[in-house]
Amino acid sequence: MPATHTTASEIHADMLYLASQSARRRQLLDQIGVHHELLLPGADEDAEALEAVLPGEAPEAYCQRVTLAKLAAARARHVARGLADGPILAADTTVALDESIFGKPADDEDAARMLQQLAGRTHRVITAVAVIEAPHPAFLPQLALQVSSVRMRVLEVDEIVRYVASGESQGKAGAYAIQSQAAAWIEHIEGSHSGIMGLPLFETAQLLRGIGLRF
């Protein structure tokens, strides 16, 4: 009798491994009813090293490369930990002003610099999402890219100082979060509000349904 091939979607059709420390991404998956478990880096992994920018790298290319690198790291982590089969999702969000990449600020001074440059300008918020049906070599990653345009009003210096002092800037690409008080600075958006938060729900849902996830 010939052997049958069981896909990851048949094994865990209602569960997803999320390779992200972002509370926003967890909330967004909850919003659309996707059951998930965290698959986070161990102490021996240098997750920040994956986000290093290569010389001359375009923002959209950077975001896609980093997302696929995060997914590859999560895939290896899954195998090393001997976890049950299931799809894995990774994502990355970056902010771009023209061709300059604004990642997570190194400190408060860096955060203030970013906000000063974004103020009164239109920037791009780029989010890439990658999923894989199972960690095995037979499965290939599926990737989607969502780009939104965001115009931020002119900011006063004291507004920037207060915002940075609140701690909201740290850990956020471009030094702000649209779901924070910085929402009052946004004049206009074209694109995906959830993508700006860190996980474009339309594109994510399309990818997950494409690998057979039920939600």
Alpha-carbon gap, residue 171 to 154, rounded angstroms:
23
30 is catalytic: no
Could you tell me how many residues make up the chain?
Answer: 215
Q: Output the DSSP codes for 132-198.
A: ES-SSTTPPPEEEEEEEEEEEPP--HHHHHHHHHTTTTTTSGGG--TTSGGGGGEEEEES-HHHHHT
In this structure, which amino acid lies at residue 183? A
Structure tokens at 148: 């939104």
Parallel/antiparallel/unpaired status of strands 36-38 and 88-97: unpaired
Query: Which one from 92, 107, 110, 158 is the annotated catalytic residue?
Result: 92
DSSP 49: G
Structure tokens at 167: 């701690």
- List of residues 6+ apart from 183 with CB closer than 8 A: none
Catalytic positions = 92
